[in-house]
Amino acid sequence: MLDVRGLSRRFGGLLALSSVSMTVREGGITALIGPNGAGKTTLFSLISGFLKPSEGEIYYAGRDVTGEPSHKLARRGIGRTFQIVQPFAGLTVRENIRVGAYLRHPGREAAMAAAEAIAREVGLEALLDAPADTLTVAARKRLELAKALATEPKLLLLDEVLAGLNPSEIRDIIPVIRGLRDRGVTVLMIEHVMQAVMSLAEHVFVLAEGRLIAEGAPADVAGNPIVIEAYLGHGAAARLARASQ
């Protein structure tokens, strides 16, 4: 579904990403982890067309899409959420989702129906008429997910969709993400909640200081000494190992 080849991005004299190569399998859930400042969101911005790479290539569904703008990539089927959620504050939940639905459904009634179906899928049906600026953090996260889903993506980039949620809220949204995978959406997710990564992801890539330092199955990555030293720490690695037994 996605093939990133030797991707680099410079901001002036800062090399934010350095020769990153990775492949995301169609129909699965892949995680991208690493410390803050590792370049994870920069990589998402390159894949989704909000930034252009300094070097390297991006292939989506076998097509070279390097440097294509975000609106064209959205039409091709690449959707994303943002780490800092920013709903359209003057609109209701229904209207927020409908904005994305217009990409595939130019008619008002069809866009409305699509928005309502997505609201049911992510657990926002009861809040459809609520103003977006009155939502809790957990509901705003679900709305951010719904807005991206409304564009009907084939590849969905989730940028810390679990950040700021309590353990109960995380448990509630994990089945929603699995459900996306089960209906054919390929998911690539940035996440710091390692228990969720271990539960959801089939393959994990690890970035640190703009470089890919490891990849593999979640349990293998969690036990990798390089990953433990650069990101997890020995305490977190030990807890994850116990939880996986």
pLDDT tens-digit readout, 2-31:
999 999 999 998 999 999 999 999 999 999
Q: What's the domain range around 99?
A: 85-152
90, part of any domain: yes
Confidence of residue 195 (pLDDT cuts 50, 70, 90): confident
Q: Residue 90: is its pLDDT beyond 70?
A: yes
Of residues 156 and 242, the one with the higher pLDDT is 156
- For residue 237, the model assigns a pLDDT of 63
The verdict on residue 245 lying in a domain is: no
In a domain, 95, yes or no: yes
Closest CA to 100 of 123, 75, 124, 122: 75
pLDDT exceeds cutoff 70 at 197: yes
pLDDT of residue 238: 66
**3-state class (DSSP) for residue 71:** helix
Quick: pLDDT tens for 200-219.
999 999 999 999 999 999 98
Q: What are phi and psi of 10, to 5 degrees?
A: -110, 140
C-alpha angle 67-72-75 in degrees, rounded to nearest 5: 140
Q: Does residue 10 fall inside a structural domain?
A: no
For 41-57, what is the mean pLDDT?
96
Rounded CA gap, 206 and 148, in Å?
Answer: 24
What percentage of the chain reaches a pLDDT higher than 90?
75
- Answer whether residue 27 is part of any domain: no
145 occurs within a structural domain: yes
Q: With contact defined as beta carbons under 8 Å apart, do 143 and 97 qualify?
A: yes
pLDDT at residue 126 in the model: 95
Sheet holding 203-208, edge to edge: 78-80, 155-159, 186-190, 29-33, 203-208, 211-216
> Model confidence at 245, in pLDDT bands (50, 70, 90)?
low
In angstroms, how far is CA 204 from the centroid of its own chain? 13
What confidence tens digit (pLDDT) does each residue in 119-145 have?
999 999 999 999 999 999 999 999 999
User: Is position 40 within any domain?
Assistant: no
Q: Is the pLDDT of residue 160 over 60?
A: yes
- What is the structure's pLDDT at 101? 95
At 100, the amino acid letter reads G
pLDDT, the chain, mean: 92
Whole-angstrom distance, CA of residue 102 vs CA of residue 186: 22
Question: Around Cβ 55, how many Cβ atoms within 10 Å?
Answer: 14
Give the residue-averaged pLDDT of 41-60: 96
Number of domains in the chain: 1
- The pLDDT, as a whole number, for residue 33 is 94
Given a contact cutoff of 8 angstroms between Cβ atoms, the answer to whether 125 and 69 are in contact is: no
229 Cβ contact list (under 8 Å, min separation 6): none
End-to-end CA distance of the chain: 32
Backbone angles phi, psi at 183, to 5 degrees: -100, 10
129 inside domain: yes
